[in-house]
Structure 1
């Protein structure tokens, strides 16, 4: 499978595999936030499009296009191709700089980089049928209040990932009592018992529990010992391919 990336500008932004690190996660004692595997996997389940120039965007709270002002740190001949006030109403529009083509049946979700938090502005998400679309899309951010926001050079301003969304309408959510699935009921009860006992040991400052610090069942793809053997298809690290140049 290939994700085809066709530049629409002479100097398109850089695309890199999603990076795991986040400043707010680094700030935790002992980088505790990285123990949450779902956060790590979300951070790396796609590609980041990086800002080629640092700039400041400011919104005065108005609904007109001119109510957003954009100021790059240094003169850039391509800046007008990167960021603009197109939709008004406090929406900052950015251009990924590529026309993407995905395999048949695959769409692209464009969004903010997962768990990359910016104060004063919110990334908007869109799903695009890139398996046929012959023109590019935009990445949009909505100011959450009047004021200034910064985009640094090398900061991700768009995160792209792929999904097979066509079959979604065929999926029927069903709410069932857990007792209707005895195997799952047993697995959950055993996990809950282990979790409760471990938390009590942590609360009592039990030396062994304090040394262990956290339970690693999900991170290691394991069940509690008496439930079932570890899964062989578990993934706890993802590194996607770097873009390459093709003909």
Structure 2
């Protein structure tokens, strides 16, 4: 299966597999947030589009296009095709530089890089039917307050991933009592017991628990006390393919 990437600008932004590291996660003692597998997996479950130049974006708080001022760190011949004030009302627009084509039934989720925190500006997300669309989309961020924000050279301004969204309307959410599923109830109760006991040991300063630091059931794809076979296909590291020329 291929994700086809057709450049529509002279020098399209670099497209790379999602990278796991985040500066705010690095600043924690022992890089603690990386123990949260869902965070790390989200960071790498797609591809990043990188800014080819560092620049400052400033919003006055006004509703007009000229209320956003964009200043690149140095003259860049393609900056005007990268970022602009297109939609007004404090919305900063990036042009992806590619026309993407996905396999039939697959759409593209266009969003900010997961868990990439920026003060003063918020990425907007969209779902695009790239299995038929013959023109590119834009990636938009909205200022949350007047002021300046920075995008550094090499910083991701867009994150793309794929989803099969067409069958979503067929899915019926059903709320059930946990007791209606005895096997799942047992698995949950065993996990809750282990979790409570482990947290109490941490609170008391138990040396073994302190050394272990955190429970790894989900990270390792295991159940406590072998309450059930380990799930098949568990993934705790994702490295997507880099683009190639075809």
Tell whether the structures are fold-level matches, with TM greater than 0.5: yes
**Residue ranges of structure 1 left out of the alignment (5+ in a row):** none
Deviation larger for 222-231 or 100-109: 222-231
Deviations 1:47-96 (A, max 9, x none): 00000000000000000000000000000110000000000000000001
Q: Secondary structure at the match of 1:160?
A: strand
Distance 2:100 2:152 in 1: 24
| Alignment partners' CA distance in 2, 1:132 and 1:230 | 40
Matched, 1:120 2:120: yes
* Runs of 4+ deviating beyond 3 Å: none
Q: CA deviation at 1:233?
A: 1.3
Q: How does 1:101-120 map to 2 (within 5 A)?
A: 101-120=101-120
Q: Distance in 2 between matches of 1:225 and 1:50?
A: 45
Aligned length: 246
| Deviation at residue 231 of structure 1 after TM alignment | 2.2
Tell me if 1:23 matches 2:23: yes
> What's the counterpart of residue 135 of structure 1?
135
SS in 2 for 1:203: helix
In structure 2, C-alpha distance between the alignment counterparts of 1:144 and 1:73, rounded to whole Å? 23
C-alpha deviation, 1:225, in angstroms: 1.5
Matching residue of 2:166: 166
1:77 aligns with 2:77: yes
The superposition leaves residues 129-175 of structure 1 with CA deviations (integer Å, 9 ceiling, x where unpaired) of: 00000000000000000000000000000000000000000000000
